[in-house]
Structure 1
Amino acid sequence: VRQRLKEWYQDSKGKKGEKRRELDVSQCFAPLLKWILSLWKSEDKCLALAIDATNIGQNFTVLSLHVLYQGCGIPVAWKIVKGTEKGSWKPHWLHIFHYVKDVVPNYWQVIVLADRGLYADWLFETICSLNWHPFLRINHQGHYQLRCDPEWRCLDTVAPKTGTQWSGYVTCFKNHSLECTLLARWDEGYKEPWLIVTDLEPTQAQSFWYGLRSWIESSYRDIKSDGWQWHKTRLREPDRAERIWLAMAIATLWAVTLGSEKQQHLSKQFNDKTKPNSRINSKSASRRKERNISCFLQGLINIIADLICGKGISLNGLFPRQSFSLNTS
């Protein structure tokens, strides 16, 4: 099995025999996203995506796009470069978006979240061109201008203290100006506010949706130390690493799907046991809580148990809880 995996991720020139080919991972991005959408068991066609970068020491930098799902993230497109490689990331992000641009039907509501280190006006425009909605955090340095108001104001005055929030149409930045909706929110326990730019109407968007972005960080942990242990890789060639990421992406989809299905089953059992006509009295029922573990970890436990019992692979569906919904009223 190990030799077969090596034959699969190597370049064609590194394989034995004649007429050997190598896998172009980019061609798998659209089918992988279509596969996830086909498993989506929800009447609400809302999809949250996130982009970010992660490093493996000085060896690799991975730029990736993930579907966000119940505290987890499923990689659907990525580009891996050497960690010491210089140059702009713009061509790589455009490459990623190019291969998934026609996959999601137009009637789906899609938001794309990114941290402030990735903000760029071209990124905002690229996401809009896909009929998706950017949800990009920005730094609080700089200025903004209200519609029909010539005065430029400092961005750090939008939400000046904890417990405040605001939204409205603005022109952001004096240089490379952006016409957008600005969302600001400063919650207790945070050192500074969230400042988010989007193309959505102020009445459609909610600033707390940005909290979904942390799920991609959970996804990186699942790929590394909490799951597939990729931080221990000895690979040094980005092309080979990209093929290994395809295997891990499908394995993550498998684990999250099984974990989601198991949690649905456990949740139904819990609800049945705590109905009013159950023998459990209301006081004890109110004290009981479901144990919260991630879909990924739950799925990983199920996979190990199934392999021990000799069961086959099954992918029955994804059951998203409503994470956001655009208010179109």
Structure 2
Amino acid sequence: MLNNKHLKQWSCIVSERMPNLSIPQAIGLATWSFGMVMTKSSSLTQVSEFIGAVNNEKPNTVRQRLKEWYQEEKAKKGDKRRTLDVSRCFASLLLWVISLLPQNIQQIALAMDATSIGDKFIVLSINILLAGCGIPVAWCIVNATEPGSWKPHWQKLITDLKDTIPPDQKVIVAADRGLYAD
């Protein structure tokens, strides 16, 4: 399935850094991320065509595999298909980003952010701040019109990252002042 040596190498790295993923899940994530970086696009069509070309596969075969990777379990074909619980990846993702930081870093800055996607969704995310950028390491998506508190969502995101940051690191958390509201 992986004929391109660079895609194979990236799949090995993803599998090593995300040990909680099954091999097919790691390959799916590696294929998507490799295709998006190389095409500078998240378009299913562009990524499928690129991966098909570099991996000597038909683009429609790649397209179907990529779609099945992000679809819900009931939409997938095959008995062993399952849904990926992304929250199981948050701690591994944070550890991966921390491993890329310079060794002399004594503190880590995290930002809690709520971003509206029109009037449809709100993305609640925890981001590690580095060189003026926020790298999302944990997130959830809530319906923008859904009444209720964000507090349980924030608590779950924080719990998902609990005990991940090395104890010798000082952690600074920045949050928008509106995030304290019920």
Scaled by the length of structure 2, the TM-score of the pair is 0.63
Q: Which runs of 5+ in 1 are unaligned?
A: 123-329
Q: Within 5 Å, which residues of 2 pair with 1:137-148?
A: none
Q: Equivalent residues in 2 for 1:171-182 (5 A)?
A: none
Displacement of 1:31 after TM fit?
Answer: 0.2
The partner residue of 1:45 within 106, 118, 121 is 106
- Residue in structure 2 matching 1:20, options 65, 81, 92: 81
The alignment partner of 1:76 has SS state of strand
- The equivalent residue for 1:110 is 171
The residue aligned with 1:79 is 140
CA deviation profile, 1:214-249 (whole Å, cap 9, x unmatched): xxxxxxxxxxxxxxxxxxxxxxxxxxxxxxxxxxxx
Supply the distance in 1 between the matched residues of 2:145 and 2:65 (Cα, whole angstroms).
30
Mapping of 1:294-309 within 5 angstroms? none
Deviations 1:9-67 (A, max 9, x none): 11110111222111000100000001011111131321000001001112211000000
| Cα-to-partner distance string for 1:176-214 (whole Å, 9 max, x where unaligned) | xxxxxxxxxxxxxxxxxxxxxxxxxxxxxxxxxxxxxxx
Task: Measure, in 2, the Cα distance between the counterparts of 1:87 and 1:119.
Answer: 13
Deviation for aligned residue 1:82: 1.3
Q: Structure 2: how far apart are the matches of 1:54 and 1:109?
A: 26
Aligned residue-pair number: 121
Distance 2:105 2:124 in 1: 29
Q: In the TM superposition, what are the counterparts of 1:1-329 in structure 2 within 5 Å?
A: 1=48, 2-119=63-180
Whole-angstrom distance in 2 between the partners of 1:15 and 1:59: 25
SS in 2 for 1:75: strand
SS in structure 1 opposite 2:172?
strand
Report % sequence identity.
60
SS in 1 for 2:134: strand
| RMSD (Å), alpha carbons | 1.5
CA deviations on 1:116-161 (whole Å, 9 max, x unpaired) are 11136x9xxxxxxxxxxxxxxxxxxxxxxxxxxxxxxxxxxxxxxx
| Rg larger for | 1
Secondary structure class of the residue paired with 1:21: coil
The code of the aligned residue for 1:24 comes to: D
Superposition deviation, residue 104 in structure 1: 0.5
Aligned letter for 2:79?
E
SS state of the match for residue 153, structure 2? helix
| CA distance in structure 2 between the aligned counterparts of 1:87 and 1:68, rounded to whole angstroms | 28
Following superposition, the deviation at residue 113 of structure 1 comes to: 0.4
Task: Flag structure 2 segments of 5+ consecutive residues without an equivalent.
Answer: 1-47, 49-62
In 2, the alpha carbon distance for the partners of 1:21 and 1:85 equals: 27
- Counterparts of 1:43 and 1:78, CA distance in 2: 28
Matched to 1:74, the amino acid is I
1:71 is displaced (CA, Å) by 1.0
Instruction: Compare the two structures and name the one with the higher helix fraction.
Output: 2
Runs of 4+ residues over 2 Å off in structure 1: 1-5
Q: Given residue 172 of structure 2, which amino acid in structure 1 is its aligned partner?
A: I
| One-letter code aligned to 2:107 | C
In structure 1, C-alpha distance between the alignment counterparts of 2:178 and 2:64, rounded to whole Å? 40
Q: Determine helix, strand or coil for the equivalent of 1:94.
A: helix
> Which residue in 2 is equivalent to 1:175?
none
